[in-house]
Amino acid sequence: MDIFVDSLHSAILLVFALDREMLAIVMVSLQVSCVSTILAGLVGVPTGFFIALRRFPGKAMLITVLNTSLALPTVVIGLFVYAFISRRGVFGPLDLLYTQKAIVIGQVILIIPLVSALTIAAISRIDERYRRTAMTLGANRMQTAWVILFEARFGITAAIVAAFGRVISEIGISMMLGGNIKGFTRTMTTAMALEYDKGAFSLAVALGIVLMTLSFAMNILFHFFQGKYRT
Amino acid sequence: MKVYSIHKLNKSCNGRSILDIDHLELEAGRIYGLLGPNGAGKTTLLNILGFLDQPTSGRLEFLGKAVRFQEKELLPLRKEIVVLDQYPVLFTTSVYKNLEFGLKLRKVAKAERERLIDEVLDLVDMASFKHAPAYNLSGGETQRIALARALALSPKVFLCDEPTASVDVENQAVIVALLKQINENKNITIVFTTHDRLLAAGLAHHTLVLNEGRFVSTSYENTFSCRIEPKEDKQIWCRISEDRGIFLSSPKVESPALKSRLFIDSQKIDLHTGQTMPGVTNCLPGKVVQLMEESGRIRVVVMVGFLLTVILTREKYDSLRPAIGDTVVVSIPQDAVTLSN
């Protein structure tokens, strides 16, 4: 118990002192997670939108596959991407392994199904009358799609927030593809694991506090905007 | 000038015909009331007329030109028409942006948009809501803003699905007055669906009755669920309420089901003043509860244990002069009754 109290005390001091090493790790984490989330959003939202609104053979099967891939372990993705970007892999010459780009690739693969599946759910919940209303007011297909997207904005934002939460807290991909290189690919989660291995809990707990605060802040922000439009 | 011409139009869903119209023409500048029970095909027809749904077969002409149900061709046609849903939705933004939506799509200049929005908000008496969030409005206010959003586009045709069904009495009167006003002032053709014959009679120039996807010349009123009980002398008793029903001779019924649907032609029912008519079958005493003039005829609603509508000619009405609350007797001849399963 003493270890925990002491660590917590030191961690709080580190956070308030804005420790340089801690900030560098947080910045790497934020940078990688933001890029991954943006890329996954750019692919996942249109994919989910298309699947939700279009009728095509195998649609139910595709949604099942997407839902199943939500449970994909990060180490499996790490292993899979490693096979492609390691020296002997197809993309070996690009020298991507143990870079932030490698982490981004893995994280994008991890959260595209999440963003798509949650977008499908958000779009499917939109009342059919919005589509009909847009059409009868003279909207073409693109404009109607935009109306539906606008009405589903909170559900889609929730999908993005959830995806960000998933990548910022994952460790398997960051460790396997990033290599936990200090100041370069060391993220909050890989740093926490390393500090734990060293038996030095202060930085680990401090990073834990930052991680939880970030997630909390994201959700507070989301609920604030959502609350503005609640009837 | 004809706005719509329909020839042998059919709409089927899962192999079942839900709309089957042989011929229909709607004139410009008129108000049409589309009456019919639930599932009669009213909304389906409205959606086809609004180019939001396409028929399975048949021909639809709009302003003299055949409509080809292809997205590219439908887009300019949709800009001439607005369909107002029974329960309209407003986009979750401001009232102003809702009204601006269709105008922007039509590339109306900013100053003109502003003028039109002010004009229609004044018309629906909602000017103070111009910048209010649309998602906080009541049902009646939503209906009025939806109406304003449609009117801002100055459509040639305005299709309303039960425009007063989801609002209170005060808003009903406002909406009816608005529809009349825009028809008279802007010469907009209006087609609306309703269950309310009173609304149809008060608002529409022409009333059309749909039943099971087809236009029928008679009213859809006087349709009842009944329980059939065999009686002596090859007769059956069609029980409509606890102690009221109609005797029919068995040949009238080919294969009587335990429960059936019974339709009584309101024009074939006879009305008599007084208490009873001895010796006549299917004579039901009741009280007059409603009187209404409709296209030169008089609609009398009599409470005989259930509400029964009787259509009287002007001459018959003048000879009887029934008043609200009078005790009368209705006699229902066998040929006025149709049974269906």
- Confidence band of A228 (pLDDT split at 50, 70, 90): low
pLDDT surpasses 70 at B212: yes
pLDDT (0 to 100) of residue B253: 53
pLDDT surpasses 50 at A231: no
- Put simply, the answer to whether B135 touches A139 (Cβ < 8 Å) is no
Task: Write out pLDDT tens, residues A168-226.
Answer: 999 999 999 999 999 899 999 999 999 889 888 888 888 888 899 988 888 888 887 77
pLDDT (0 to 100) of residue A174: 96
Task: Write out pLDDT tens, residues B288-339.
Answer: 998 988 778 898 999 988 889 898 999 999 998 999 999 999 988 888 888 7
Of residues A224 and B268, more confidently modeled: B268
A45-54, B93-102, B132-141, B232-241: which has the minimum mean pLDDT?
B232-241
B85 close to A (CB below 8 A):
yes
pLDDT surpasses 90 at A135: yes
B263 contact partners, CB below 8 Å, separation of at least 6: B222, B223, B224, B337, B338, B339, B340
pTM of the model as a whole? 0.77
pLDDT surpasses 90 at A139: yes
Of chain B, the percentage scoring pLDDT greater than 70 comes to 94
pLDDT surpasses 80 at B251: no
The ipTM (two decimal places) reads 0.79
Which one of B71, B105, B136 would you mutate to disrupt binding with A, by most A Cβ within 10 Å of its Cβ? B105
pLDDT surpasses 50 at B117: yes
Strands B235-239 vs B223-231: parallel, antiparallel or unpaired: antiparallel
- Chain B CB contacts of A137 below 8 Å: 82, 101-102, 105, 149-150, 153
Measured in angstroms, the CA of A151 and the nearest CA of chain B are apart by: 7
B205 contact partners, CB below 8 Å, separation of at least 6: B30, B31, B32
A132 close to B (CB below 8 A):
yes
What chain B residue is nearest to A139 in terms of C-alpha separation? B105
B114-148 CB burial, b ≥16 within 10 A, e <16: eebbeebbebbebeebeeebbbebeebbbbbbbbb
pLDDT surpasses 90 at B127: yes
pLDDT surpasses 70 at B278: no
Q: Which two tokens stand for residue B5?
A: 């011409």
- Chain B CB contacts of A129 below 8 Å: 85, 87-89
Of chain B, the percentage scoring pLDDT greater than 90 comes to 50
pLDDT (0 to 100) of residue A146: 94
- Put simply, the answer to whether A130 touches B105 (Cβ < 8 Å) is no
A224 close to B (CB below 8 A):
no
Q: Count the helices and strands in chain B (H runs, E runs).
A: 8, 20
pLDDT surpasses 90 at B280: no
- Chain A CB contacts of B135 below 8 Å: 229, 231
- Count CB-CB contacts under 10 A for residue B300: 26
